[in-house]
Amino acid sequence: MSGPPAPSFEFVEPLRTERLVLRPMTLDDVDEVYAYQRRDDVCRYLLHEARSRDEVVEWVGKYAAATRLAEEHDWIEPAIVVDGRVIGHMYLTIASLENRGAEIGWTLHPDFQGKGYAHEAAVAMLDLAFGELGMHRVRAELDPRNDASIALCRRLGMREEAYFVKDLMFRGDWADTGVYAILDEEWAARGAAADAE
Ligand SMILES: CC(C)(COP(=O)(O)OP(=O)(O)OC[C@H]1O[C@@H](n2cnc3c(N)ncnc32)[C@H](O)[C@@H]1OP(=O)(O)O)[C@@H](O)C(=O)NCCC(=O)NCCS
């Protein structure tokens, strides 16, 4: 197989942006993650429903253990931290090694939405995906009713690539799926355009 070497990323050091720290979760984050995962409004379009505190304890344990991106289906779920508080998290997984495809996701506590924090965290994740990980394409899969998530995809320069009709059994009913994506060369061109401004 030609192309860049296989990805090998250990999520140990926090990633820093202008306003955010993205770092591995720890069990100390349970209360702050529960503050948003317990909410129906946050989970409306997520594959999981609002979680109990015990469920959040279990999931934060899984997030904390997921620190490696090297093999297909490896994933990380970084905490998004503002002023020492976990306000949400990102998701990044290697969907295909052969096709160098990754998938991204995002969740914020409602008190911290509308401030550009998800966008800022997503830029850091895309920089990681297309930089150190050498990915070729990053996609986001979402519920087409999720306007906020679609707006974020568009702000990142992701294009709508697919619209699957009633392909998902979602809480007892068929639901649609939208797929948005961006390529490495497109991400690089956006970076070059931003640098020129
Ligand atoms: C999807 C989700 C992460 C988007 O969060 P968000 O805060 O709207 O997204 P962004 O970080 O891109 O912020 C954009 C908003 O911040 C505003 N903003 C304020 N300051 C800003 C800044 N410095 N930079 C950029 N945007 C800024 C923008 O104008 C925009 O406002 P608008 O929504 O009124 O147009 C959030 O709605 C969410 O967590 N939803 C619940 C979970 C979910 O459904 N996840 C997606 C599953 S696919």
With a 6 A CB cut-off, is 50 part of the ligand 1 pocket? no
Long-range contacts: 114-117, Cβ < 8 Å, 24+? 117/19, 117/20, 117/80, 117/82, 117/87, 117/88
With a 6 A CB cut-off, is 104 part of the ligand 1 pocket? no
> Given a cut of 80, is residue 4 above it in pLDDT?
no
Q: What percent of the chain has pLDDT over 90?
A: 93
The gap from C-alpha 17 to its chain's centroid, in whole angstroms, comes to 15
Residues 6+ apart with CB under 8 A from 115: none
Query: Mean pLDDT in the chain?
Result: 96
Pocket test for ligand 1, best of 119, 123, 142, 177 (most atoms within 8 A of CB): 119
> Given a cut of 80, is residue 1 above it in pLDDT?
no
Tell me the backbone φ, ψ of residue 44, rounded to 5 degrees.
Answer: -50, -45
Please give the pLDDT value at position 154.
Answer: 98
Index of the ligand 1 atom closest to the CA of residue 114: 16
Q: Do 182 and 156 contact (CB within 8 A), yes or no?
A: yes
With a 6 A CB cut-off, is 146 part of the ligand 1 pocket? yes
Query: Which residues are paired to 68 by β-bridges?
Result: 10
Token duo for residue 184: 């490495």
> For 93-135, how does the pLDDT look when each residue is reduced to its tens digit (9 = 90+)?
999 999 999 999 999 999 999 999 999 999 999 999 999 999 9
Pocket test for ligand 1, best of 40, 43, 106 (most atoms within 8 A of CB): 106
> Given a cut of 80, is residue 3 above it in pLDDT?
no
Token duo for residue 105: 């996701």
Query: Which residues are paired to 89 by β-bridges?
Result: 79, 107
User: Does an H or E element contain 54, and which?
Assistant: helix 53-65
Pocket test for ligand 1, best of 152, 158, 168, 176 (most atoms within 8 A of CB): 152
Q: Do 144 and 176 contact (CB within 8 A), yes or no?
A: yes
Task: Give all domains of the chain, ordered by start, each with its CATH number.
Answer: 9-196 (3.40.630.30)
Mean pLDDT of 82-100: 98
User: Does an H or E element contain 9, and which?
Assistant: strand 9-10
Please give the pLDDT value at position 167.
Answer: 98
pTM: 0.96
> For 165-192, how does the pLDDT look when each residue is reduced to its tens digit (9 = 90+)?
999 999 999 999 999 999 999 999 998 8
> For 17-43, how does the pLDDT look when each residue is reduced to its tens digit (9 = 90+)?
999 999 999 999 999 999 999 999 999
With a 6 A CB cut-off, is 62 part of the ligand 1 pocket? no
